[in-house]
A = this chain, B = another copy of it.
Amino acid sequence: MVRRTKEDALSTRNDLLDAAERLFSERGVATTSMMQVAEAAGVTRGAIYHHFENKLDLIESLMDRVKLPVDEMFEELAKSIPDDPLGQLKHRCLKIVKQVQDDQHTQALINILFHKCEYIDDVLPIHQRHLHGRNACIDECEKLIEHAIEKGQVSQNVKPRETVIGMFSLIDGLMYNWLLDRDYFNLEQVAKTSLDRYCASLAD
């Protein structure tokens, strides 16, 4: 089993990414060795070091494959002129939740970020990327809240920044706990009612 065509090489690379995603998500990043990833992909470590520099590069490539829900949300927010800003916001948040619930790759990645990798210097680049997209998204959502205030959808007493942080934290917490035990509650359902209540209280 030696050199194959370029398509085969790309397939090998994808197999490696698939294996890494699965193993990292199941057993954790630090405890999974390069050899285990290679074995799971049916190749040797040589294949990994040919396609990726090291473990960190492998992880970063994992992140490149999947568009995180916050990034997608950010893009959609940018190109929409909100007629119903608060509804928009709620809808986008639920979409994030839904993507984590339904899309396997997204779920695996978020699971890794939440539960399967330590937040330390070595893996910080990927967290940085996540947080960066997140903060940009928070800024955008903050503007939505401000619009909602102007439109009278939301009370003038609410502080936009804190409100968004609260919303995102609620979503984060729900996903965090749901990923710990996916049978404990229905993510989408609880997210919907929780968000509804949270938003309703903003009218004050």
Residues of chain A touching chain B, judged by Cβ–Cβ distance below 8 Å, are: 27-31, 115-122, 131, 159, 161-162, 165-166, 168-174, 176-177, 180, 184-185, 189-190, 193-194, 197-198, 200-202
Contacts and interface: CB of A to CB of B under 8 A. Distances in A.
24 contacts: A28-B118, A28-B119, A30-B30, A31-B118, A115-B118, A115-B119, A116-B119, A116-B120, A118-B118, A119-B180, A131-B180, A161-B185, A162-B185, A165-B174, A166-B174, A166-B193, A168-B173, A170-B173, A171-B173, A172-B172, A172-B173, A197-B198, A197-B201, A198-B198
Contacts of A194: 162, 166, 169-170, 198
Contacts of A119: 28, 115-116, 180
Q: Name the 8 nearest CB pairs between A and B, nearest first.
A: A173-B173, A169-B173, A28-B118, A197-B201, A166-B194, A115-B119, A172-B173, A30-B30
Copies in the complex: 2
A179 B152 CA distance: 34
Nearest to A29: B118
Contacts of A193: 159, 162, 166
Name, among A118, A184, A202, the residue most crowded by chain B CB atoms within 10 Å (CB to CB).
A118
Given A119-B180, A165-B184, A168-B177, 13 more contacts: A27-B120, A28-B30, A28-B120, A29-B118, A30-B118, A31-B122, A116-B120, A118-B118, A162-B185, A165-B174, A170-B170, A170-B173, A172-B177
